[in-house]
């Protein structure tokens, strides 16, 4: 095979002179990537990356007079790269402003407020660059934009630094996106109990099958039921005010849910979450603060006697009946209160007997 023939084979393989092409980083087989003007190639590449080899050598083949063995290896490397790119498995750099979050939110963090590791991530990206790409798909509704499946923290950190985001682009369906989103979260920084509960609820409300949601969150059927019960029992306003609370598990969230069934305590909770003592605290402490406050209110309310107004047949006030922890107290508030109390005392035995007969039928 002469030099001219080998060069023609290279041209035939690529169909045209190759542009600077993004880095190959995976062996998965997604569909080809849609090109856009906003996509730029990744800067980092391994030394043995076949595209780098092709780009650096193809223009100098004739001048250097490569041996047949070298040329054959180059041809094979170029073919492998072409096959990989045809499958759409490529890492590119995207402007962070062109990437929208997933259509289902899975985290409750207020960036560094509830996620102190976020600042560490920013520092790491600044010093070492982005080591792991995020996963995005072409936005289903907005041409030229993308939608993240996972890597939202890395995306926000890169945006904070004003640097492009390395991303793997795949044409995912909605179900594939949430499966990837849930799996990646379970393998990296785990979602807290309440984050997973809200994520599950949001997916169910969007019409996803329970089996898909269970796979996305790696849940058994019984676990799934408990997650949905908690998410439904606590108003989302209160959950979002508390935040992810990573140290709080299902039993304490269930305790809060049971507490909030009382309408009086629910109103108290809605007031408490607006107080500075609550809002200025860290997420786990916000949960603890709210539950403790409600417990104190609950005990105080329980210690107060229930009062019932007493009236005559004509609607005149007789006084109050106070009931508290199995005890009853009459508070007669008339000018003849003492005489009437003595009358009740004399008639009490007969009245009580009449009460027992009516109660027992």
Please indicate, yes or no, if residue 59 is contained in any of the structural domains: no
Residue-number span of the structural domain to which 341 is assigned: 307-359
Tell me: do 160 and 223 sit in the same domain: no
Question: Taking Cα atoms as reference points, which of 160, 42, 135, 34 lies closest to residue 88?
Answer: 34
Tell me: do 264 and 288 sit in the same domain: yes
Quick one: how far is CA 59 from the chain centroid?
Answer: 49
Reduced to 3 states, what is the DSSP secondary structure of residue 135?
Answer: strand
Tell me: do 202 and 288 sit in the same domain: yes
The CATH code of the domain that includes 237 is: 1.10.10
What single DSSP character describes residue 23? Answer: B
Among 173, 208, 228, the domain boundary falls at: 173
Report how far residue 31's alpha carbon sits from residue 168's, in angstroms, rounded to the nearest whole number: 12
Tell me: do 101 and 151 sit in the same domain: yes
Four-point Cα dihedral 14, 20, 24, 30, nearest 10: -60
Tell me: do 202 and 269 sit in the same domain: yes
Quick one: how far is CA 96 from the chain centroid?
Answer: 20
Tell me: do 199 and 152 sit in the same domain: no
Overall number of domains in the chain: 3
| Tens digit of each residue's pLDDT, the chain (361 residues) | 554 554 444 344 334 443 433 444 344 434 444 443 444 444 444 444 444 444 444 444 443 444 454 455 445 544 544 453 455 557 889 998 999 988 877 676 655 566 667 788 888 888 888 888 889 999 999 999 999 988 888 888 898 899 999 999 999 998 888 888 877 665 555 678 998 898 889 889 888 889 888 888 888 889 899 899 999 999 999 999 999 898 999 899 999 999 998 888 899 999 999 999 999 999 999 999 999 999 888 666 655 667 788 888 888 888 888 876 567 888 888 888 888 888 989 989 988 888 888 888 6
Please indicate, yes or no, if residue 12 is contained in any of the structural domains: no
Tell me if 99 sits within 8 A of 39, measured CB to CB.
no
Using a 10 angstrom Cβ sphere, with 0-12 exposed, 13-18 middle and 19 or more buried, the burial of residue 54 is buried
Tell me if 77 sits within 8 A of 54, measured CB to CB.
yes
């Amino acid at each position: 095979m002469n030099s001219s023939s080998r060069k023609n084979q290279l041209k035939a393989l690529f169909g045209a002179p190759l542009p600077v092409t993004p880095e190959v980083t995976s062996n998965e087989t997604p569909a080809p990537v849609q090109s856009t003007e906003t996509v730029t190639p990744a800067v980092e590449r391994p030394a043995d990356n076949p595209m780098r080899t092709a780009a650096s050598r193809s223009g100098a083949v004739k001048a250097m007079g490569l041996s047949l063995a070298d040329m054959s290896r180059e041809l094979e490397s170029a073919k492998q790269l072409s096959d990989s790119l045809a499958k759409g498995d490529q890492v590119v750099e995207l402007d962070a402003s062109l990437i929208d979050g997933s259509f289902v939110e899975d985290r409750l963090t207020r960036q560094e407020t509830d996620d102190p590791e976020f600042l560490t991530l920013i520092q790491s990206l600044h010093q070492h660059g982005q080591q792991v790409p995020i996963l995005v798909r072409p936005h289903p509704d907005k041409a030229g934009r993308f939608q993240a499946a996972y890597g939202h923290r890395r995306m926000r950190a890169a945006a904070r630094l004003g640097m492009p985001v390395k991303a793997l682009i795949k044409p995912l369906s909605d179900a594939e996106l949430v499966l990837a989103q849930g799996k990646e979260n379970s393998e990296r920084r785990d979602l807290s109990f309440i984050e997973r509960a809200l994520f599950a609820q949001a997916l169910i409300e969007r019409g996803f099958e329970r089996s898909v949601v269970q796979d996305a969150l790696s849940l058994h059927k019984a676990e799934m039921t408990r997650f949905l019960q908690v998410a439904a029992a606590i108003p989302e306003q209160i959950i979002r005010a508390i935040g992810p609370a990573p140290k709080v598990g299902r039993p304490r969230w269930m305790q809060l849910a049971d507490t909030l069934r009382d309408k009086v305590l629910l109103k108290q909770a809605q007031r408490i979450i607006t107080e500075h003592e609550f809002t200025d605290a860290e997420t786990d402490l916000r949960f603890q603060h709210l539950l403790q406050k409600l417990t104190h209110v609950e005990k105080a309310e329980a210690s107060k006697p229930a009062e019932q107004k007493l009236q005559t047949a004509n609607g005149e006030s007789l006084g109050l009946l106070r009931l508290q922890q199995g005890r009853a107290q009459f508070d007669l508030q008339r000018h003849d209160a003492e005489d009437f109390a003595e009358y009740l005392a004399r008639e009490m035995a007969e009245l009580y007997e009449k009460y027992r007969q009516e109660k027992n039928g």
